[in-house]
Structure 1
Amino acid sequence: MKSAEILQQPFTLPCGVTIPNRIVKSAMSENNADKGGKPSERIIKLYKTWGEGGTGILISGNVMMDSKALNEPRNVIVEDEKHLAELKEWAEVAQKHGSHLWMQINHPGRQSPKFNKDVVSASDVQLPMKSLFPKPRPMTEDEIWKAIDGFGDCALIAKKAGWKGVQIHGAHGYLVSQFLSTLTNLRTDKWGGSLENRARFALEIYRNIRKKVGPEYPIGIKINSADFQRGAFTEEESLEVIDMLSAEGMDMIEVSGGTYEKAAMMGAGKKVKESTQKREAYFADFIVKARAKTEAPLLLTGGFRTVNVMAKAIENNELDFVGLARPFAVFPYLSKEFFEGTKTEVNIPPVKTGLNFIDKMGFLDISYFSQQMKLMGKGELPNPKLSVWSVLFHFMKETAFK
């Protein structure tokens, strides 16, 4: 079987839903909602474009389940049904050509910028970037259960709006991740201490969602392979949590890694041996360990660039789905091009000015791909030749000169 044919194979999840192929557009924050967290026409146009590309699953960027806890000022918010019509339209245009649209549900916890009035977390551990992120207060027992309920309510609304699945964001240092890590969870009650206690928040969120959406609706989770910080969530702990989630019946586990302080999900600071580099993915070694631990469907995102390598990982039963994120911001029809053989790999030049003091700050990367998505939100196609200097100028215009 050819590599493209392997990627085109359908896959049936534990809940019984069949995904048309093995490629997933993993979450990227759109940060482009209208006032009040309403899904904008710009976001709907963006997903209309992606929906034309033949990708198996399109996972949305951060959808916030609490209007009082935003990660970015223009996050989509789903805490009630007031935006149900827009959510239905979003699902309809994204899924018109066969893709499945999943909602990534999130609460930022301590990774809530200062425009949030009351920042909460598992404990009162503040991010080092104190000028941007205020010190959180520990959540009360009632607040924990309310948040768990909020995840479930958000998932039920997604189902009512016609979305074909949901993903719990349990990675990258957000609230679920904060409960899992001993660096950010200093609690001494049933939500802290042992790994079993620290994982309770994630497990209860899954149970709440499952109770509300029923047994035949896909639920996934994104989880760190590790936080890559001393004293934080470790690889061994991650494997144990994956085992716990699998026992609950999770339909898909996406592996990533890192936090705001250590951005391993973007390949930052990770030294890898040559044999691992040939497998492209940032967490290729970990996914093999995860596969040995679980039979739950596995999605790996980060680093994949060639069809042959993606197909080989599936053929070797290391994973079930290949996740791509940033490539889709530049090449929205990538899956279709892979399947038709018009592309066998994707190359995105490094987003660098050559000025080290600017490049090492990392904001240009985010701004570059954000601009590409905003072009699609205007009904245009992304520009693979977009100048890094124009991105820098745009960033300065939008921030420094305000």
Structure 2
Amino acid sequence: MNPINQPITLPCRAILKNRLVKAAMTERMSNSSYEPTEAHQNLYKIWAETGAGLLITGNVMIDKNHMESAGNIFMGDEKMIPKLKDWSDSSKGPGNHIWTQISHSGRQTNRFVNPRPKAPSAIQLKKLWLFGKPQPMTESDIQEVIQGFAKAAKISQESGFTGIQIHAAHGYLLSQFLSPKTNHRTDKWGGSLENRSRLLLEIIRVCRKTVGNEFPISVKINSSDFQRGGFTEEDSLIVVKKLEEEGIDLLEISGGTYEKAAFFMGNDKKKESTIKREAYFLDFAKKVREVCDVPLMITGGFRSFNFCNDVLGEGDCDLIGMGRPFIGNYNIMGDFLHGKIPYLENPPIRTGFSAFEDAAEGGYYARQLINIAEGRGLKPNLNPMASSMFIVKHEFKKARQKSRKAK
């Protein structure tokens, strides 16, 4: 049997039925109360039917004032548990897991949600006109974040989700604390790598105490920020070892931030080495294997059935994460898992203007995801330039709806 179809037992003794994972992608579809909707249920039912062993949700946020998108779900109110349970129930096919990706966006908070977000330090993200200048967090703010993650973990568990992923990558709050480029603090939360990693490790400890030893806790971390003065591969390997010592159940490797989006590398002109390897972070995964025995997931770039099996068979990672293929190829992912489809195609999204390419890519897939969730299916001819404007317009519209309700 192909390795991608083999089960795996995690350290907490949870069993994933195969090695294919639907990686996290922001849905942007919550209602005016930050709750999941029927669109979430429709979308995750489709994904559960692909047969993937694990589905990881898009960002669910621990703080209403720090949303990456005005359409995020808030995971901080027990009154929402019935609707969250409807979502988790719809996400369960035969034997698959469904985990929430819990997060705080810090300086990457949408300015329509909060024009003065809190972050490790007052360093503004200047991209897409979407982010305000942050305020440095106080000690009280940091303690609230720790408890917010613990509460989100508990609500996830009580809502029927079968695990959590703590998002410490892609420039969100925990990634901001890890990076010397965005963390200029001089207290116990900044400076040395030991201090910069303190918040992530404290959150893992509190979450583990909250959910118990048999509930999977995963962490998503950058291999590096791919920015001068940022979080490096050397830093990441040290933190990875600390994560193993804390007893996490799965480590997902990604990379980049909104300023340097390595997680959107799929449509760049591919280097010869990338064409040969296919997966973006495989070289770094091999370094992780030398220092850490935690089950390892790589997300980014996997497209061919044979290559997925080669990587798994060689032991370079334990799980294959895919994001955009679960949008652009959602109706054939089951056939791919069983080798009936040898390769997953994803079209390049290009405006012809370099300043708009990341926005076009993100907007295109955000629009397609919403189309699928609302029953319209894929629209292959979406205009790239219109897609580049979609996220800004969509966020403004969502934020206005929620602002009106608050009044």
Q: For residues 167-246 of structure 1, what are the structure 2 equivalents within 5 Å?
A: 167-246=165-244
CA distance in 2, matches of 1:274, 1:389: 26
User: 1:200 Cα deviation (Å)?
Assistant: 0.5
Q: Report what 2:107 is aligned to.
A: 110
Q: Report what 2:330 is aligned to.
A: 332
Q: Report what 2:162 is aligned to.
A: 164
Q: Report what 1:67 is aligned to.
A: 64
Picking from 24, 32, 35, the partner of 2:29 is 32
Q: For residues 2-401 of structure 1, what are the structure 2 equivalents within 5 Å?
A: 5-115=2-112, 116-129=114-127, 131-267=129-265, 274-353=272-351, 356-357=352-353, 360-383=356-379, 385-388=380-383, 392=387, 395=390, 398=393
User: 1:342 Cα deviation (Å)?
Assistant: 2.1
1:242-279 CA-partner distances (Å, limit 9, x unpaired): 01001111111100000111011111798976344312
CA distance in 1, matches of 2:361, 2:259: 16
- Residues 305 and 339 in structure 2, CA contact (< 8 A), matched pair in contact too: no
Structure 1 residues 196 and 395, CA, compared in 2 at 3 Å: closer, same or farther?
A: closer
CA distance in 2, matches of 1:82, 1:400: 25
Structure 1 residues 337 and 120, CA, compared in 2 at 3 Å: closer, same or farther?
A: same
CA distance in 1, matches of 2:338, 2:206: 41
Amino acid at match of 1:395: F
1:208-262 CA-partner distances (Å, limit 9, x unpaired): 1100000000000110000011111001000100010011111111000001110
- Range that drifts further, 209-218 or 78-87: 78-87
- Residues 251 and 296 in structure 1, CA contact (< 8 A), matched pair in contact too: yes
Structure 1: give runs of 5+ residues left out of the alignment.
none
- Residues 253 and 298 in structure 2, CA contact (< 8 A), matched pair in contact too: yes
User: 1:9 Cα deviation (Å)?
Assistant: 0.2
Question: Percent same amino acid among aligned pairs?
Answer: 44
- Residues 280 and 300 in structure 2, CA contact (< 8 A), matched pair in contact too: yes
- Residues 110 and 119 in structure 1, CA contact (< 8 A), matched pair in contact too: yes
Any idea what SS the aligned residue of 1:267 has? helix
CA distance in 2, matches of 1:357, 1:10: 44
Structure 1 residues 86 and 257, CA, compared in 2 at 3 Å: closer, same or farther?
A: same
Any idea what SS the aligned residue of 2:100 has? strand
1:181-216 CA-partner distances (Å, limit 9, x unpaired): 111111111111111111001001111110000000
User: 1:117 Cα deviation (Å)?
Assistant: 5.0
Any idea what SS the aligned residue of 2:277 has? coil
Structure 1 residues 334 and 23, CA, compared in 2 at 3 Å: closer, same or farther?
A: farther
CA distance in 1, matches of 2:129, 2:385: 27
1:261-298 CA-partner distances (Å, limit 9, x unpaired): 10111117989763443120111111111111100011
1:69-116 CA-partner distances (Å, limit 9, x unpaired): 111111111111121111111111111332211100010001112221
Question: When the two structures are superposed, what TM-score results if normalisation uses the length of structure 1?
Answer: 0.93
Structure 1 residues 393 and 67, CA, compared in 2 at 3 Å: closer, same or farther?
A: closer
CA distance in 2, matches of 1:182, 1:390: 35
CA distance in 2, matches of 1:242, 1:271: 30
User: 1:338 Cα deviation (Å)?
Assistant: 2.0
CA distance in 1, matches of 2:173, 2:392: 32
User: 1:400 Cα deviation (Å)?
Assistant: 12
- Range that drifts further, 74-83 or 123-132: 123-132
RMSD: 2.3
- Residues 361 and 387 in structure 2, CA contact (< 8 A), matched pair in contact too: no
CA distance in 2, matches of 1:287, 1:400: 35
Amino acid at match of 2:90: V
Runs in 1 of length 4+ with deviation above 6 angstroms?
268-272, 399-402
Structure 2: give runs of 5+ residues left out of the alignment.
398-407
State how many pairs are aligned: 396
CA distance in 2, matches of 1:284, 1:15: 25
Structure 1 residues 314 and 134, CA, compared in 2 at 3 Å: closer, same or farther?
A: same
- Residues 21 and 320 in structure 2, CA contact (< 8 A), matched pair in contact too: yes
Structure 1 residues 35 and 318, CA, compared in 2 at 3 Å: closer, same or farther?
A: same
Amino acid at match of 2:157: K
CA distance in 2, matches of 1:276, 1:330: 21
Structure 1 residues 394 and 257, CA, compared in 2 at 3 Å: closer, same or farther?
A: closer
- Residues 23 and 56 in structure 1, CA contact (< 8 A), matched pair in contact too: yes
CA distance in 1, matches of 2:317, 2:294: 10
Structure 1 residues 399 and 36, CA, compared in 2 at 3 Å: closer, same or farther?
A: closer
CA distance in 2, matches of 1:257, 1:397: 24
Question: When the two structures are superposed, what TM-score results if normalisation uses the length of structure 2?
Answer: 0.92
CA distance in 1, matches of 2:313, 2:363: 35
